[in-house]
Amino acid sequence: MKPVKWPRNISQKCPLIWDDLASFLRYWEKSRTMKKVLIFSTLIIFVVVSCKKSDQASNESAGNPTGSVKFNVNKDVILQLVNAARTTGCTCGTTVMAPVTPVTWNDQLGKAAYDHSVDMKANTYFSHTALSGATPGQRITAAGYQWKSFGENIAMGYTTEQAVMAGWLNSEGHCKNIMNGGLKEMGVGREANYWTQVFATK
């Protein structure tokens, strides 16, 4: 029988399985030869598969922070991208925009943004004005936010927060909304690849 190659660092990756294996080896020394081969081969498969499943679960958990998802958007990622631009400053078209204070997330603005994305997707249009005639300000008010000023960005076709932010920053008008220091709160909502970003202040 060929020597067994154990997965590297198996005792660290699968400590419970490794303890079971050690107990098994003590028993194995007392077993008959054919029984040894059959049971030992089965255990090898179980150990390797279990370690791979544990590694996969750990990687998926680290790469998909579902607790941060609001209105089909990872709010932590989009906030980080927006505030990185705001606190660093950037050039919107030909206009140099100085650094401004970060925005904070607001669920009412997120709801207004999400509802508009859903409506655009459901009714196959792309506009700041809904087919019903509702404007961004009316949608924000309907979500329960008493605004003094606001700005809205929309986008279509992007598949990630990083991609849609790059698109908005490369468009002068959208970029200026992002860099508007008078707007203190933000919400973003997505339906399929329809995106709406709403900034406002009370």
Q: What is the DSSP string of 144-190?
A: T---SEEEEEEEES--SHHHHHHHHHTSHHHHHHHT-TT--EEEEEE
Q: Is the pTM of this model over 0.75?
A: no
Q: What is the identity of the amino acid at 83?
A: N
Q: What whole-number distance in Å separates Cα of residue 49 and Cα of residue 152?
A: 49
- Rounded distance between C-alpha atoms, residue 176 and residue 178, angstroms: 5
Tell me what pLDDT residue 190 has. 98
Backbone angles phi, psi at 68, to 5 degrees: -90, -5
Contact 199, 186 (CB under 8 A): yes
pLDDT tens string 46-96: 433 333 333 333 233 333 344 589 999 999 999 999 999 999 999 999 999
| Chain segment 103-152, per-residue pLDDT in tens | 999 999 999 999 999 999 999 999 999 999 999 999 999 999 999 999 99
Angle at 194 between CA 137 and CA 124, to 5 degrees: 90
Compute the average pLDDT of residues 24-29: 49
